Amino acid sequence: MSERIYDDIAAFILVAREQSFTRAAVKMGVSQSALSQTIRNLEERLQMRLLSRTTRKVSATELGERLLEATEARLEAIAQDLNLLRGLAEAPSGTIRISASTLATERILWPKLAPLLTRYPDLRLDIDSNAALVDIVGERFDAGVRLGEQVDKDMISIPIGPRERMRVVASRDYLRRRGTPRHPRDLTGHDCILVRMPTAQAPLPWEFEKNGEKINVRVSGRIVCNNQEVRADAVRRGLGLAWMMQDFALPLLEDGDLVPVLDDWSGEFPGFHLYYPSRRQHSRAFALVIDALRWRG
């Protein structure tokens, strides 16, 4: 079959839906006689009668209905894909809105997306650094960034960073005064610097895993703070133990300011993911953002 048959099938679909050669010809911008000849050629090529013609109406035959059901959705999908490809060939422009935590914004989004702004002057970014789990559809965001385990199952999700670990850290001075916990349950006797998410009433429990055993410990302390820098300073001052993501804790440990605690209970979990509600009809700008953020480690 030649490539022409696809145009002929598209013409047949339009005639069948309009139930009129006249209306279909007007929409296609061709003469009625030319359209009639196109359908006759298609019927001869397929060796089947597709349309039943009367003086008042044109309707699909039984075989025509089957062809209509088999091809209409596929041709629409091809048309959508072609429109997407045409968009990809154009210069990216427009605003991409993303909701992300402060840590993800500072460590992943900005370093990877800043070069796009230099390369594409018509591209704009609107990044909302928010610790809350935002309804990206309701708030009209193009995408969100959260830890993989926090992403709703009905979202498209791609990793944009490595797997993560949570580390318990402390100052040497604090451990000299209070002793070193040997088991997660020992934390109940220590001052801990707590974290509370905006959508939660109580501070987060600290989660641990070792050899398949998982333990959640509800710790207590005099400080509740979501700011990583403040929590790190409180730990340096010997005010308690902190539970923080390895990406933030590692420089503090490497500098020798703090020491790790309960590291053998520090299991890995899915890292940051970009998530969004649909694969279809993405703009050139959004496709570039996805490609720039995709984790390739």
Three-state DSSP class for residue 50: coil
Each residue of 32-44: b (16+ CB within 10 Å) or e?
eeebbebbeebbe
Q: Where are the beta strands (DSSP E) in the chain?
A: 51-53, 58-60, 94-100, 123-129, 143-147, 156-159, 164-170, 192-194, 206-210, 213-217, 223-224, 241-245, 259-261, 268-269, 272-276
Output the CA–CA distances (angstroms, integers) from residue 254 to 68, 169, 258, in the order listed.
Answer: 66, 12, 8
Check: CB of residue 15 under 8 Å from CB of residue 27: no
Check: CB of residue 35 under 8 Å from CB of residue 27: no
Q: Please state, in angstroms and rounded to a whole number, the distance separating the CA atoms of residues 143 and 123.
A: 16
User: In this predicted model, which residue has the larger pLDDT, 174 or 24?
Assistant: 174
Residue-range domains of the chain with CATH: 4-80 (1.10.10.10), 94-154+273-293 (3.40.190.10), 164-269 (3.40.190.290)
Which pLDDT band holds residue 200 (cuts at 50, 70, 90)? low
Q: For 109-163, how does the pLDDT look when each residue is reduced to its tens digit (9 = 90+)?
A: 999 999 999 999 999 999 998 877 788 888 889 999 988 776 777 788 899 999 8
Q: Tokens 């801990």, residue?
A: 192
Residue 146's pLDDT is what?
87
pTM of the model: 0.60
Those residues whose C-beta lies under 8 Å from the C-beta of residue 40, and which sit 6 or more positions away, are none
Residue 230's pLDDT is what?
92
Residue 3's pLDDT is what?
55
Q: For 66-94, how does the pLDDT look when each residue is reduced to its tens digit (9 = 90+)?
A: 888 888 777 777 776 666 666 555 678 88
Three-state DSSP class for residue 180: coil
Q: Where are the beta strands (DSSP E) in 29-109?
A: 51-53, 58-60, 94-100
Residue 201's pLDDT is what?
73
In this structure, are strands 213-217 and 259-261 parallel, antiparallel, or unpaired? unpaired
Percent of the chain with pLDDT over 90: 41
Which pLDDT band holds residue 280 (cuts at 50, 70, 90)? low
Q: Please state, in angstroms and rounded to a whole number, the distance separating the CA atoms of residues 284 and 122.
A: 11
Q: For 42-66, how does the pLDDT look when each residue is reduced to its tens digit (9 = 90+)?
A: 888 888 898 888 767 888 898 888 8
Residue 112: closest CA among 274, 276, 269 = 274
Residue 95: closest CA among 116, 123, 119 = 123
The tokens of 26 are what? Answer: 């007007």
Burial of residue 259 (CB within 10 Å: 0-12, 13-18, 19+) is middle
- Rounded to 5 degrees, φ, ψ at 164 are -115, 165
Check: CB of residue 146 under 8 Å from CB of residue 133: yes
Task: Rounding to the nearest 10 degrees, give the CA dihedral for residues 101, 161, 152, 265.
Answer: -90
Average pLDDT across the chain, whole number: 86
